[in-house]
Amino acid sequence: MRVFLTKDNNANVQNIYDKYSQMALMMESLSGITFFVQAAETMSFSEAGRNLGVSSSTVGKSVSRLEERLGVRLFHRSTRSIRLTAEGSMFLERCRRILSEVEAAELELSEARLNPRGRLRISMPLVGMLVMPAITAFMHRYPDIELDVDFSDRMVDVIEEGFDVVMRTGEPADSRLMSRTLGCYQLKLVASPGYLEASGVPETPVDLVQHACLHHRFPSTGRLEPWPLKSSTDTPILSPPVTMICNTSTALMDVALAGLGIACLPDFMVRPSLSTGQLHLVLEQHIVHQGTFRLLWPSSKFLSSKIRVFIDFMAETLFADNDEIR
């Protein structure tokens, strides 16, 4: 394969080279300043080298390069001692202020790591009843982190749309993203006692053809979410009839609570209504399903503290009290 460099390509390469050269020069300058200050305070290259964990010749060469770059002599040297020149004394005060600012910046970053702060942009599916207790608890724990939460079942582009963290179901497909499992859930078929009393209780999946079935449509694909039915015989399972379609599970639950049919909903959503008797499980022995919630975030060598604490908190909290429905 041949690579042809145009003028624009050459310019880009030169710009990158210049930036790296500037960065290398800045790092060398900072190192030289550190060596210079240590030598000035100890009045000895050997003592400065011991304090910094390097050889005396390393300190001496670094100071010499600094003098060459500045165009002035910073030390008077003799075989036994060194002492500051007038220019060196003036430069020392400036260098001390520079190193003090660097130390302050490092301390500020360290405190930010220990006390996370700033804006955190996250995307969550429309499962507020699951995530909001954890979200509000996180806000109490980390009041200096500003949450910008987008609730949507749309498949967002994490990197292009500038999200810090997103929550999704299923397996991650983007190699640019890191992931962490939060927990699992199951889909359940539910109906109100009034509906089951009026329409009868289905005993097998085949019986669903005689019932009103409420379906969820994935907003991202437009497809109906399949009901995870299994058969105990060789009889093929027919697709449940479609009485209603909705792209939000919350609305389907409202319709099921109103006694208008059977809905297929996540266990964490129906758990309170099952415990109060407002909904009953249907065809429990004929359901096989397990879904997984994950957090995804852009891959990075250095993860900011605000993202790290959010990921850890959600992993520890989100499914802590969600026991599986039996």
CB-based contacts of 142: which residues, under 8 Å, 6+ apart?
116, 306, 309, 310, 313
Burial 270-281 (b: 16+ CB within 10 A, else e): bbebeeeebbbb
Query: For position 21, what pLDDT does the model report?
Result: 46
- Residue 304 and residue 317: Cα distance in Å, rounded? 20
118-185+291-317, CATH topology level? D-Maltodextrin-Binding Protein; domain 2 (3.40.190)
- What are the sequence ranges of the domains in the chain? 7-114, 118-185+291-317, 187-286
Bridge partners of 265?
A: 188
Please state, as a whole number, how many other Cβ atoms lie within 10 Å of the Cβ of residue 78.
8
- Residue 305 and residue 311: Cα distance in Å, rounded? 10
Helix/strand/coil percent split, the chain, to 5: 45, 20, 35
- Residue 140 and residue 134: Cα distance in Å, rounded? 10
Alpha helices in the chain, H assignment, sequence order: 7-42, 45-52, 56-70, 86-114, 128-141, 193-199, 249-257, 267-276, 305-317
Query: For position 176, what pLDDT does the model report?
Result: 82
Q: Are 199 and 272 in contact (CB under 8 A)?
A: no
Query: For position 31, what pLDDT does the model report?
Result: 83
Q: Are 216 and 224 in contact (CB under 8 A)?
A: yes
Task: For residue 158, report the phi and psi dihedrals to the nearest 5 degrees.
Answer: -55, -50
Indicate yes or no: pTM above 0.85.
Answer: no
CATH, range 7-114: 1.10.10.10
- Residue 241 and residue 262: Cα distance in Å, rounded? 11
CATH, range 187-286: 3.40.190.10
pLDDT tens-place values along the chain, 326 residues long: 343 444 444 554 445 444 444 544 555 678 888 899 999 989 999 999 998 899 989 999 999 988 988 899 999 998 888 999 999 998 888 888 888 888 877 777 766 667 788 899 999 988 888 899 999 999 999 999 999 999 887 878 888 888 999 998 878 777 788 889 999 999 999 999 999 999 999 998 989 999 999 999 887 788 898 898 886 655 556 689 999 999 888 899 999 999 999 999 999 999 999 999 999 999 998 888 888 999 999 887 677 888 999 999 999 998 876 544 33
Instruction: Evaluate whether 118-185+291-317 and 187-286 have a shared fold.
Output: yes
Query: For position 237, what pLDDT does the model report?
Result: 63
Query: For position 28, what pLDDT does the model report?
Result: 64
Query: For position 294, what pLDDT does the model report?
Result: 92
Query: For position 23, what pLDDT does the model report?
Result: 43
Q: Closest Cα partner for 64 from 101, 22, 36?
A: 36
Task: For residue 11, report the phi and psi dihedrals to the nearest 5 degrees.
Answer: -65, -40
What is residue 222's three-state secondary structure? Answer: coil
- Residue 162 and residue 156: Cα distance in Å, rounded? 10
